Amino acid sequence: MGIFGRKSTESAVATATLPVDPALAALSGDYTIDPAHSSIGFTVRHAMVTNVRGTFAEHEGALKLDGSNPGASTASIDVKIASIDTGIGDRDGHLRSGDFFDAEQFPLMSFRSTGAEQLGGDKYRITGDLTIKDVTKPLAIDLEFNGTATDVYGNERVGFEGSAEILRSAWGLTWNAALETGGVMVSDKVKLNFDISAIKNAA
């Protein structure tokens, strides 16, 4: 089953070719991403020799899953840029500044799904539009569906984890500094990481 798909106002993209599992069809409904049990982060090469990892502590999003017609499903996520956390206050302040995200002028990073593709087993690829600052460009996210569970409070949950790679310069994040030994301080390539738990809304 493809978990995400084209937005409801657009023509559905039917990417799944396998028969629909009745158990998956039962997942249909509206879900809210649980930020307390989800993580949205990134990894970027620093000074050509090591990786810096960070997360965005504040984010919200929604899923609309249609298990019988996966191509009709949708996903949206909004991330508060000011909540960036790499563990170093000065570095976080630089990332929030006009050199990078300019969080004061552009407080949110957003993703809106536009399509889905089943890669086999529990692996999928979702496509959509990623907006950073005032730039919107397509993004593909490879993900793995982690299944469902009912938590101790009776909430029905779905989970997935995934990743994508972008060139930050494509979204206008071009600040850098040359190193005396050659190369640059911050790589252009950034890996985005998603670990999402979403709760089914009450009917």
In a domain, 86, yes or no: yes
Total number of domains in the chain: 1
Half-sphere exposure of 99 (CA within 13 A, CB side): 10
In a domain, 8, yes or no: no
How do beta strands 135-150 and 59-65 pair?
A: unpaired
pLDDT attached to residue 13: 38
Q: What is the pLDDT along the chain (203 residues), one digit of tens a residue?
A: 334 333 333 333 334 455 565 666 788 899 999 999 999 999 999 988 899 999 999 999 999 888 777 667 789 999 999 999 999 999 999 999 999 999 999 999 999 999 877 777 788 888 999 999 999 999 999 988 898 999 999 999 999 999 999 999 999 999 999 998 888 889 999 999 999 999 999 87
H helices present in the chain, as ranges: 22-25, 89-96
pLDDT attached to residue 3: 40
Domain residues for 108? 22-200
**DSSP β-bridge partners for residue 147:** 159
pLDDT attached to residue 4: 39
Burial class (CB in 10 A: 0-12, 13-18, 19+), 87: exposed
In a domain, 3, yes or no: no
DSSP-derived secondary structure letter, 153: T
In a domain, 195, yes or no: yes
Task: Quote the pTM value.
Answer: 0.85
Would you say 75 and 120 are in contact if contact means Cβ atoms under 8 Å apart?
no
Mind spelling out the 3-state secondary structure of 82-112?
A: HHEECCCHHHHHHHHCCCCCCCCCCCEEEEE
Q: What is the CATH number of the domain that holds 49?
A: 2.40.128.110
